[in-house]
Structure 1
Amino acid sequence: MKGYKLSKYVEKVFETSSSEYSEWFGYYNYDTLTSDHSKLLCNRIKEDGVKPRADLKIKVGYYDIPSGEWHHVGESDSWNWQQGCMAQWLNDNEVIYNSSENNHHIAIIHNIKTGTERKIDWAIYGITPDGKKSIALDMERAHWCRAYHYESVADKSKDGPVYEQDGIFEIDLENNTRKLIISIQEVITLDSRSYFKKAKHWIEHVMINQEGTKFCFLHRFSPVEDVFRYVTRLIIVDMNTMQMTCIPNWEKTQWSHFGWDGDNFAIYTYPQTGVGITEESFNARVGNRLSNTKKLSFKTRMANFCRSFYPQTFEKKMRGLITYYQYYAQNNGEYVLLKEFRNDSFLIDGHPTFVNNSSLMVTDTYPDKNKIQRLLMFDQEKNKVYELGKFNATYQGNPASCDLHPKVSRDGQYVVVDSAHDEKHHMIVLKIK
């Protein structure tokens, strides 16, 4: 398949089509449309399929829908392909995005009506529903970890197994102040293990729920020598009390993407074999990978070759590698596993977003063996998956790989995706029928 194909369940409202620029937004679970759906926030760049560099800037702006008129907001040197520069609408008139100044990350707030700007002295991350605060990471620490980060600032003093000033911060966007609300030491102490002392620790992926009453984040840790051999814990925080809850059984489960459904959430799950993570298995994570396939026996290499032709569903079931979404609900202050979404459509990891006040979840998939990625809608009540569209993934395996990253409008009427189906990043606005 070339390009993309939409199903009867959606209709295309708008697609970015600049002849000069590649255009995209980045992460999921954000609304890139204004409340009246008339303006589409996005990033643009002339280069595509390249690694981000400190000297490479992107343009930030928005399109009028449906006229397609572009409006320039600003430029940023603090970006990546997966998350852009964290550009977001604070309200229908103000855009905020990350950049850098004097070798330090900052954020810029631009008023599209007056053209005025003001600066925030730190990079932002998730924004509270009222647009007044950001719950943020230290993006300069993220540069030295596996986390999504920016190339524009490389402060070596923030490297190391633990950066003592790291944690979760609350940024007041009206007064330009920042305070530490959860320290990295508090995170490490929560449900701690003896082998934590041997690890490198960092924080990723803050996500605030729709009501602004809770947020969650990933605590990841790895052998100091290899941040790509990390272990993941999901931690929930009550916004009023700052009480943290670590989701149980994390040693037996590797998790990735998650999405809020009110006070509940779903998270993509990779069950671990055997007893899961132990001190012995954690110590064995370094130097345990084969450098090339020549070290495999001929029989094993042939079996792997034959498996490459199997349908992905069959192969995963045959090898006992079933992955799926888990759905957790709050019960007496703790989070418990309520149900699992084990539909065959969910055998490939994706990015879930729940439609407010409904039983619907919109998600995508990573590319399959045919380099096709899918946009899906799941009805929990009917336990039925609807395919909204499928897209060619031309940049699979490239630093500029383009996930669909579905972004559902606040009223649930629209979903916006990024797609590089023709070796160029686009944004596509779809109305859900």
Structure 2
Amino acid sequence: MSNYSCSRREFVSRVMCGVGASALGSLSFGAEQKSGAEQKFPPMRVITKGPRHHWFGYYDKLQFDPTSRYVLGMEVAFEHRSPRADDVIKIGMVDLEDGDRWIELGESTAWNWQQGCMLQWLPGSASEIIWNDRQDGQFVSRILDLKSGKGRTIPSPIYSVSPDGKTAVTPDFRRIQDVRPGYGYPGFPDPNFKDLAPQDSGIFRVDLETGKSTLILSLEEISQTGTIPKNQKDIKHYFNHLLFSPDGSRFITLHRWQYPNGKRLSRMVTARPDGSDVRVVIDNGFVSHFIWRDPEHILAQSKATADSPSWGDFLVKDETGAELKEVGKGVLDNGGHLTYLPGNEWILNDTYPKGKERMQTPHLYHVASGKRIDLGHFHSPKLYTGEWRVDTHPRYSPNSRYVCIDSPYQDQGRQLHLIDISEITGAS
């Protein structure tokens, strides 16, 4: 682990201490969005602007700081092509209490369109952020304290960070880039390219205090665990999508395997942070987005059985071969990106582009009543498809007042949009 200096140290420190801040009341949200003659949506405003493009990425990361004032984001000068190893993105944040001012914090050359560079507020800290980068021929992660301006480098990339901010788990991004470009990082080829289930690649535990990285679950091990649907000798195994439980006692990952024709299937697996007590929770081969409801339950998109014609949102207990209980059938979208708002009263979700107008619809689902409230319709032009599509990936603020999404805006490309949901949630 090494230290690095922050050129914006004094400026960022002043910002985090509140110098030059103005009241939130001086900002205004745009008029309510309307679809048709009657439908109304919560107030929304775009908090970044062109000519550069801004986005955050995945839905299960901490985009807002603990006070809900600062909103992290990334900035790039181009769209509509795969990133190259030397393409630089800027790391920054928006100050919601100072005219949505963009504050530059750093940069990265280890990123993709769907998940960015794993930028997030470090859990358990009021002023530290973390993101992935590359240095000296390897992927690394940077931790920056915005109050002191001091930074340090961890000699490993990260994916999910434990709630106490001391530990991370990460897959092999070189392997992911090989099997599914758009979720890995370009530049370093997979050294196990020809190995279908290598014993020295898989999930690594990263100590964010010492920088030590340890392989805790190998691809060879998971390929021999439980029953793999439609198994055959030439499938290529990999891990993607990791997430710690709310108490840090376990983490989820998707064990995926790719067939020679490019198709893939998945199992949802959980384990302890040291890689022990591996459980194959959903084993039918069909599982996608997920979120922890609490340390013992997971909401996941899957099929009821491998032969089911359609997908659904299922609540399962964290146990091997868990029973799938569908939530919000026909109301909660079965293909979006799921999170629970604090208190678990509401589920936040979205949709992929639908209809001729290619509208994406973030929405809230009230668990007790089964009612869905749409938060807006956001047009996604056809140019935004495949690897460089813009999923809205809704993220909530800690005070449950705001939802932030990524979406193309007019002729300015992808930008951050802020939706005020306080009248729905009762947040103050």
- Give me the TM-score of the superposition, normalised by structure 2: 0.82
Aligned counterpart for 1:216 among listed residues 238, 252, 262 = 252
Deviations 1:71-95 (A, max 9, x none): 2211111111100110111123211
Q: Which residue in 2 is equivalent to 1:425?
A: 414
Q: Distance in 2 between matches of 1:351 and 1:335?
A: 21
Match of 1:237 in 2: 271
2:172 maps to what in 1? Answer: 138
Aligned residues of 1:49 and 1:398 also touching (Cα < 8 A): no
Q: 2 CA distance for matches of 1:98 and 1:273? A: 36
- The alignment status of 1:192 with 2:227, answered yes or no, reads yes
Deviation at 1:157, TM superposition (A): 1.6
SS of residue paired to 1:327? strand
- SS of residue paired to 2:117: coil
Tell me the residue number matched to 2:4: none
1:354 corresponding residue in structure 2: 340
For residues 162-190 of structure 1, the C-alpha deviation after alignment (integer angstroms, 9 at most, x for no partner) is 23311211111111111122222221121
Question: Does the C-alpha gap of structure 1 residues 238 and 156 become closer, same or farther in structure 2, counting only changes over 3 Å?
Answer: closer
Secondary structure of 1:144's aligned partner? helix
The answer for unaligned runs of 5 or more in structure 2 is: 1-30, 424-428
Q: Which residue of 1 aligns with 2:323?
A: 336
Q: Any gaps of 5 or more consecutive residues in structure 1?
A: 275-319
1:267 aligned partner: 300
1:58 maps to 89
- 2:378 is paired with a residue whose SS is strand
2:299 corresponds to which letter in structure 1? Answer: A
- Asked if residue 174 in structure 1 is aligned to residue 217 in structure 2, the reply is no
Amino acid at match of 1:139: F
Letter in 1 for 2:405: V
Match of 2:104, SS state, is strand
2:67·2:398 contact (CA, 8 Å) conserved in 1? Answer: no
The letter for the 2-side match of 1:351 is H
Identity %: 25
SS in structure 1 of the partner of residue 164 of structure 2: coil
Deviates more, 1:381-390 or 1:321-330: 321-330
Deviation, structure 1 residue 156: 4.1
Shift in Å, 1:374: 0.4
- One of 141, 146, 163 as aligned partner of 1:107: 141
- The answer to whether the aligner puts 1:387 opposite 2:374 as a matched pair is yes
Kindly provide the amino acid, as one letter, of the partner of residue 268 in structure 1: Q
Q: Aligned AA for 2:198? A: Y
Distance in 2 (CA, whole Å) between partners of 1:4 and 1:359 is 24
- Which residue identity does 2:374 align to in structure 1? E
Partner of 1:268, secondary structure, is strand
Aligned-residue RMSD, C-alpha: 2.5
For these two proteins, the number of residue pairs brought into alignment is: 379
Q: Deviations over 1:21-74 (max 9, x none)?
A: 110000002220111111111000111222211221100111211322222211
Using a 3 Å threshold, how does the CA distance of structure 1 residues 214 and 10 change in structure 2: closer, same or farther? farther
Residues 186 and 411 (structure 1 numbering): CA distance in 2 closer, same or farther, change over 3 Å? Answer: farther
Task: Give the aligned partner of residue 104 of structure 2.
Answer: 72
TM-score normalized with structure 1 length: 0.81
For the 8 Å contact 1:140–1:158, the answer to whether it is kept is no
Q: Is residue 2:71 matched to residue 1:40?
A: yes
| Amino acid in structure 2 at the alignment position of 1:165 | D
| Helix, strand or coil at the partner of 2:231 | helix
- My pick for the range that moved more, 142-151 or 121-130, is 142-151
- Conservation of the 8 A alpha-carbon contact between 2:281 and 2:318: no
CA separation of 1:245 and 1:108: change in aligned 2, threshold 3 A: same
Q: d(CA) in 2 for partners of 1:265 and 1:329? A: 6
Change over 3 Å in CA distance of 1:429–1:210 after alignment to 2 = farther
Query: Are 2:310 and 1:322 aligned?
Result: yes
Match of 2:117 in 1: 85
- Structure 1 residues 50 and 18, CA gap change in structure 2 (3 angstroms): same
Q: Is the 8 A contact 2:267 2:283 kept in 1?
A: no
Kindly indicate whether the alpha-carbon contact (under 8 Å) linking 1:221 and 1:230 is maintained by their aligned counterparts in 2: yes
Distance 1:66 1:391 in 2: 25
Which residue in 2 is equivalent to 1:206?
242
Q: What is aligned with 2:19? A: none
Q: Deviations over 1:282-331 (max 9, x none)?
A: xxxxxxxxxxxxxxxxxxxxxxxxxxxxxxxxxxxxxx943321221247
What secondary structure does 1:186 align onto? helix
Q: Check whether the contact 1:4–1:421 (CA below 8 A) recurs between aligned residues.
A: no
Measured in 2, the distance between the counterparts of 1:220 and 1:426 equals 31
Q: CA deviation at 1:196?
A: 4.8
For residues 336 and 155 of structure 1, the distance between their equivalents in structure 2, rounded to whole angstroms, comes to 39
| Whole-angstrom CA distance in 1 between matches of 2:338 and 2:300 | 8
Per-residue CA deviations over 1:350-392 (Å, capped at 9, x if unaligned) read: 1000112233110000001220010111112111111111111
C-alpha separation in 2, matches of 1:273 and 1:402: 29
Q: CA deviation at 1:151?
A: 4.1
Q: Which structure carries more relative contact order (alpha carbon 8 Å, separation 6+)?
A: 1
State the distance in 2 between where 1:239 and 1:431 align. 36
